[in-house]
Amino acid sequence: MKLRKIFGIAGLALAAGFALSACSSQSNSNTDDSAKEKVVFATVGTTAPFSYEEDSELTGFDVELARAVFEESDKYEVSFQKTAWSSIFTGLDSDKYQMAGNNLSFTEERAAKYLYSYPLGATPSVLTVTKDSDIDSYEDIGGHSTQVVQGNTTVTQLEEYNEEHPDNEVELNYTDENITQILTNLNEGKYDFKIFDAPTVNAIIKNQNLNNLKTIELESSEQPFIYFIFGQDQEDLQKFVNGRIKELLEDGTIAQLAEEYLGSADYVPAASDLKVPSLD
């Protein structure tokens, strides 16, 4: 009887030990998951085809490429935050966001404050006008009106144009409206032209049936790439993301996403283009 009790107690102790071991193992597993570094990715979510909502979910070229970058990462866990354009930058400044993507081009002002990724894709600009417009080229925009968003690269371009043409300036109308609203206004004849990237303009014209608009290609001496950007203290994150961009370019993932969201794999950067832009 005593022997049976001893064996019984020993069995209970052994079972308890296995249970504790299992709990410990599960706890360690959870700790590993929770130990991943959180990355909040900021985007506007209204700039198709780069970031927009579909069935209440964020998607688009920038968003899906970011998802591919962090897929199965052992170190990072990404989440996406829709926010206003200006809040992207204040959020990076305060470390509310660690990373952002929203058809973001290179500017000296941004490069002075934020880290850049390798280029994600090329987005050549087009001049968009109504079909009956007397504007046939960039040289014809003087004396005409357009809407611009503060902080956009087009603003700097057109401000420089006005400095060079003081007797025939472009009328700049500053707005907080998104590009879909701006192109809709143009389609209705409220303004005369809009300069923006070809993939976005083509997607909006098609999806919104803006049949009164046409586009004119603009020549550029430089390839107009778009990038992810990071807070200044995110060097490790920048290095990880750039490594993944290189892998995703090599395995064809970026080409597939460009085909699906931008309309052509021709917008994909070449391997030789994989460089971080700098102020030098």
Please count the CA atoms within 13 angstroms of the CA of 238 that sit on its side-chain side: 17
Tell me the average pLDDT across 101-124. Answer: 94
131 neighbors 214 (Cβ within 8 angstroms)? yes
Residue 20 is assigned to a structural domain of this protein: no
174 neighbors 215 (Cβ within 8 angstroms)? no
Q: Does 113 lie in the same domain as 242? A: yes
Tell me which residue range forms the domain holding 231: 37-121+225-262
pLDDT in tens, 198-231: 998 988 998 899 999 999 998 765 568 999 999 9
Q: Does 106 lie in the same domain as 89? A: yes
Residue 174 is assigned to a structural domain of this protein: yes
Spatial CB neighbours of 187, under 8 Å, sequence gap ≥ 6: 130, 210, 211, 212, 213
Q: Does 47 lie in the same domain as 117? A: yes
Average pLDDT, the chain: 88
- Coil, strand or helix at 99: strand
Q: Does 239 lie in the same domain as 114? A: yes
Residue 145 is predicted with a pLDDT of 98
pLDDT in tens, 144-175: 999 999 877 788 889 999 999 999 999 999 99
Domain count of the fold of the chain: 2
Spatial distance between the Cα atoms of 177 and 96, rounded to a whole number of angstroms: 24
Least confident window among 23-32, 87-96, 113-122, 147-156: 23-32
Structural tokens at position 118:
């390798």
Q: Does 160 lie in the same domain as 238? A: no
